Amino acid sequence: MSVAPLRLGLAGLGTVGIGVVKIVQAHADLVAARAGRPVVITAVSARDRTKNRDADLSGYAWETDPVALAKRPDIDVFVEVMGGHEGPAKLATEAALAAGKHVVTANKALLAHHGQTLAEAAEAANLALRFEAAVAGGIPVIKALTEGLAGNRMKRVMGVMNGSCNYILTRMQAENLPYETVFEEARQLGYLEADPNLDVGGIDAGHKLSLLAAIAFGTRVTFDAVELEGIGNVSIDDIRLAEDMGYRIKLLGVAQMTGRGLEQRMTPCLVPADSPLGQLQGGTNMVVLEGDSVGQIVLRGPGAGMGPTASAVMADVIDIARGFRLPTFGQPASTLSAAQPARAATPAPYYLRMTLLDKPGALAKIATCLGDAGVSIDQMRQYGHQGANAPVLIVTHKAAPDDVAHAMTRFAATGVLVGQPVAIRIEEV
């Protein structure tokens, strides 16, 4: 092949970075055939050069400073897989664009916080800024939205986008284990970030949702407007009772444009147990895309790990090698609108769990509170007595979130409630 190779500068030699090295080394001929030119790694950057990384790095120049790597004249594409939305990752990415280098990143936090500015800089310089690996690991959801579904007006984007949370919830359900036990198990297995709240607090998944929403609805990335609630308060009781009613609990991201503005929420929700999302097990991710012409598309696959994430990085690299250029968020950054953030107000059924005093008229008082708030009951079950208390589970018909919240505040005044009630939205999929 006589054309010049595409030269990569790889910043970050953790799990994903070494995955990229292995693909470039093991599939050199295949990548060259598909890209139309060889793809090689020229230089790498990481803090510790002496660490054993189970890969041959001897043929690459080494830079301790990723900013220096980004400025090297012998690289064409800066591949950033370090992580972090400030500090070296941000500085090096900015330096790469300023130096005329294309950028491929797996850093969802960086783009969730600085995506608009970086996209404008890349497009002003006619450079590619690609991030397939930043959302849902090996699932090609960015390509699906920016290319395959480009002719659709998107109606809704939703999905399970954090495999660690899905592992915890499905393990709790399968083994009837409390959250604290499975959380510690996941930590010991290395499934959680160094700061576990990035996973179980919904932050990691919220970053991903904000990026998908920007592409789907042509808006600027607004991570700060994502309603976030993690899985720390999901009890084994809720998992067990939801299953009894035909539902599973998932940390579910939902983004949709409404007449009031852009709704973005990453919260625990109930989904039908027999739905694709309800059947999702372990660390797998799933993204559901709904367009006005295509209807519903379901994408399922590994959301993290060396191979899947490196695969997504290389898909972007090969596109750049082919000469393919696309605006970062599917349309010019200058045309992205500043969406009006909107709190979730779309009506939905709700799962309500509470414990009542076992005395005449207790349930009637709760039903009255719901009725006065405009919330009607679809299903109701009362479970075995716990001493003088009676556990009750209610599934409502579709109701506005504010109406459910209003009813919940009125419960306390009835004098029949024991402890705090639980309300979880049921998402229809």
Going by the DSSP 8-state scheme, the letter that residue 223 receives in this structure is G
Contact yes or no for 236/183 (Cβ under 8 A) = no
Radius of gyration of the chain (CA): 24
Give long-range contacts, CB 8 A cutoff, 24+ apart: 405-411. Answer: 406/373, 407/369, 407/370, 407/372, 407/373, 407/375, 408/352, 410/369, 410/372, 410/373, 411/354, 411/366, 411/369
Per the annotation, the verdict on 71 as an active-site residue is: no
Rounded Cα distance between 354 and 334, Å, is 49
Read off the amino acid at residue 222. Answer: T
* 228-258 burial code (b ≥16 CB/10 A, e <16): bbbbeebebebbebbeebebbbbbbbbbbbe
CA angle 153, 159, 160 (to 5 degrees): 165
Read off the amino acid at residue 309. Answer: T
Rounded Cα distance between 429 and 418, Å, is 33
* 9-36 burial code (b ≥16 CB/10 A, e <16): bbbbbebbbbbbbbbbeeeeeebbeebe
Nearest to 19 by CA among 285, 309, 315: 309
Contact yes or no for 416/360 (Cβ under 8 A) = no
Structure tokens, 238: 């809720």
Looking at residue 386, its pLDDT comes to 66
- The stretches in the chain having pLDDT less than 70 are 1-2, 384-387
Q: Is the pTM of this model over 0.85?
A: yes
Q: Is 199 helix (H, G, I), strand (E, B) or coil?
A: helix
Say if strands 284-291 and 6-11 run parallel, antiparallel, or are unpaired: unpaired
Contact yes or no for 288/157 (Cβ under 8 A) = yes
Rounded Cα distance between 225 and 233, Å, is 22
For residue 424, give the H/E element and its range.
strand 417-425
Q: Which of 208, 250, 365, 398 is catalytic?
A: 208
Look-up of token digits 């499934």: 191
**End-to-end CA, the chain:** 49
Helices 163-175, 236-244: axis angle to 10 degrees equals 70
Contact yes or no for 119/331 (Cβ under 8 A) = no
